[in-house]
C-alpha cells in the first residue's frame, strides 16, 4: 500500500468504501471489530498500514488494533492469493499421503501453510476434513475438488490455475 493511500486513501475505491463504513459507525473503540471485518472483506487481509489507518480513523491505539487482529484467528495479516489451495489433512487423507502432498505444494511454491506466494498467485492452506474421504487424499483449489492427488501430480495441478 502506498504512502498516499495510507494518509488519505480517498483516491482508492476500497478506501472510499471503508471510509463510508467508518463514517456510519460511532468513532469509538466499540466499532473496532466491525470495522476490521469490513476492512478484511474489502482488502482480503489486514496489513499493518491498513491497521494504522483504522487506528487513526477510530482514535484507538495502533497497538490495540494489532492486539485484536492477532487475538482472533479470523483476522489475517497475510494477503490472499488469487487461488487458494486447501489440502485436506483429515485422518483418511493423512494415512493416504496428504502430508507428502502438502510438502510437495510447499516445496514447489516456496511457501509454508498459511502463506501466499510473492506474486499473489497462490495461498496454501490446510484443513482437517472436508468430508470427501472417498477421494483421499483430497485437495481443493478454490471451489474445485481434486481427488487422489499425489506429490507427482502437484505441478500439473498448479498449471491449471494462472
- Provide the annotated binding site for [2Fe-2S] cluster: 88, 93, 129, 133
CA distance 140 to 5: 34
Cβ-based nearer residue to another protein, 78 or 86: 78
Work out whether 51 is an interface residue with another protein (CB under 8 A): yes
CB of 45 to another protein, least distance (A): 13
Q: Is 63 in the site for another protein (CB under 8 A)?
A: yes
Under rule CB under 8 A, residue 158 binds another protein: no
Task: Tell me which stretch binds another protein (CB under 8 A): 56-64, 91-99, 119-127, 137-145.
Answer: 56-64
> Closer CB to another protein, residue 60 or residue 126?
60
List residues binding another protein (CB under 8 A): 48, 51, 60-67, 70-71
Amino acid at each position: 500500500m502506498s504512502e498516499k493511500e495510507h494518509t488519505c486513501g480517498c483516491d482508492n475505491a476500497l478506501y472510499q468504501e471503508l471510509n463510508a463504513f467508518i463514517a456510519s459507525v460511532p468513532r469509538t473503540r466499540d466499532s473496532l471489530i466491525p470495522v476490521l471485518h469490513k476492512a478484511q472483506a474489502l482488502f482480503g487481509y489486514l496489513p499493518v498500514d491498513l491497521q494504522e489507518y483504522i487506528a487513526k480513523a477510530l482514535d484507538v491505539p495502533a497497538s490495540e488494533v494489532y492486539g485484536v487482529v492477532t487475538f482472533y484467528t479470523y483476522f489475517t495479516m497475510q494477503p490472499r492469493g488469487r487461488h487458494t489451495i486447501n489440502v485436506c489433512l483429515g485422518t483418511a487423507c493423512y494415512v493416504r499421503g496428504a502430508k507428502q502432498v502438502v510438502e510437495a505444494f510447499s516445496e514447489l511454491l516456496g511457501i509454508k501453510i498459511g502463506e501466499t506466494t510473492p506474486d499473489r498467485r497462490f495461498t496454501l492452506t490446510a484443513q482437517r476434513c472436508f468430508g470427501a474421504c472417498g477421494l483421499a487424499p483430497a485437495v481443493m483449489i478454490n471451489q474445485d475438488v481434486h481427488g487422489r492427488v499425489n506429490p507427482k501430480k502437484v505441478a500439473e495441478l498448479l498449471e491449471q490455475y494462472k
